[in-house]
């Protein structure tokens, strides 16, 4: 697995389920174990970030950074900084509760589950 596997749905799923921040850490550009997965992550990140802004999800809640396995200090620094920023922003406002309390189920996934 690679940052290239990160489906923007994962990020949204985390925010949907109550995460107050999402941090993606990947191999440095040019240093991807899978050659170029991190460039895909980078492209998706920029577009997703722009879109999340339209959803009222503030800048500090979503971040992409490059940390290699040997950069313990940077790893700690990035995590602490992220935690600090997210704490300052406070909890993300949830979407209103759904009138029908069930998992949203449009489409065949649920149909299969029922079958």
Partner 1 sequence: MAKPKVAFYWCASCGGCEESIIDLAENILKVIEAVEFVIFPVAMDFKMKDVEALHDREIAVSFINGGIRTEEQEHMAKLLRKKSGIVVAYGACAHLGGTPGLANFFNRDMIFDYVYRKAPSVENPHNITPKPRTAVKQGDLTLPKFYDTVFTLDQVIDVDYYLPGCAPPPDLIMKAIEAILSGNLPPKGSVLAPDKSLCHTCKRKPTKPEKAIIKEIRRVHEVLLDPDRCFLDQGIICMGPATRDGCGERCINANMPCRGCFGSTSRVEDQGAKFLSALASVIDANDENEIRKITASIVDPAGVFYFYSLPASMLRRRRNIANE
Partner 2 sequence: MSGGDKQGIMKAGVGVYFCSCGTNISENIDIDELVRFTSTLDTVEYVKSHNLLCSEEGKNYLAEDIIKQKPDRVVIAACTPKEHEKTFRNVLQKAGLNPYLFQMVNLREQVAWATSDKSSATEKAKSYIRAAVARVALQEPLEEREIDCNTDVLVIGAGPAGMEAALLLAKAGRKVYLVEKNSFIGGRVARYEEVFPKMECASCMMEPKMDEVLHHENIELLTCSEVQEVLGFLGNFVVRVRKKAGYVDKNKCIGCGACYDQCPVTVKNEFDYNLSDRKAIHVPYTGALPNVPVIDCMSCLRFEGRSDVYKQALDQGLITKREYETFKAEDCRLCKEACLFDAINYEDKDEVIEREVGGIVVATGFELFDPSVLPQFGYGVYPEVYTSLEFERILSQTGPTCGKLLMKDGREPESVAIIHCVGSRDKDFKDYCSGVCCLYALKFARLVEKHAPSVKVYDFYADWCVPGKDNQAFLDSIKKWKNIKFIHTTLPMNVPVKKRNGKLSLACTDVSNGKHVVSADMVVLCPAMVPAKDTARLSELLLIARGKEGFFAEGHTKLAPVSTNMEGIFIAGCSQGPKDIQGSVAQAAAAAGEVLSALVPGRKLKLDVLTAEIDENACAECRICIGLCPYNAIVLDKEKNVAVVNTVLCKGCGTCVAACPSGSARSRHFTTEQIFAEIEGVLK
Enumerate binding residues for partner 1 (CB under 8 A).
Answer: 7-9, 11-13, 15-16, 29, 36, 39-40, 42-44, 46-48, 50-51, 54-58, 92-96, 98-100, 102, 104-112, 114-115
**Phi and psi (nearest 5°) for 70?**
-95, 0
94 touches, from partner 2, partner 1, none (C-beta below 5 to 8 Å by class): partner 1
- If one counts every other C-beta atom within 10 angstroms of the C-beta of residue 54, the result is 7
- List beta partners, residue 66: 26
CB 113 within 8 A of CB 47: no
37 touches, from partner 2, partner 1, none (C-beta below 5 to 8 Å by class): partner 2
Q: Where do contacts with partner 2 occur on this chain (CB under 8 A)?
A: 1-2, 4-10, 13-14, 17-19, 30-37, 40, 44, 102-103, 112-115
Q: How far is the CB of 81 from partner 1 (least distance, A)?
A: 19
Q: How far is the CB of 76 from partner 1 (least distance, A)?
A: 24
Q: How far is the CB of 111 from partner 1 (least distance, A)?
A: 4
CB 5 within 8 A of CB 39: no
Write out the DSSP string of 91-113: SPPPPPPPSS-S----SHHHHHH
């Amino acid at each position: 697995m690679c940052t290239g596997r990160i489906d923007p749905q994962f990020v949204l799923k985390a925010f949907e389920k109550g995460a107050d921040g999402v941090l993606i850490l990947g191999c440095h550009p040019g240093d991807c174990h899978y050659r170029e997965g991190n460039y895909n992550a980078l492209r998706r990140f920029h577009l997703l970030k722009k879109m999340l802004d339209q959803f009222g999800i503030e800048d500090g809640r979503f971040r992409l950074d490059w940390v290699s396995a040997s950069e313990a200090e940077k790893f700690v620094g990035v995590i602490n900084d992220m935690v600090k920023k997210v704490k300052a922003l406070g909890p993300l406002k949830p979407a209103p509760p759904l009138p029908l309390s069930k998992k949203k189920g449009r489409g065949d996934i649920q149909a299969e589950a029922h079958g």
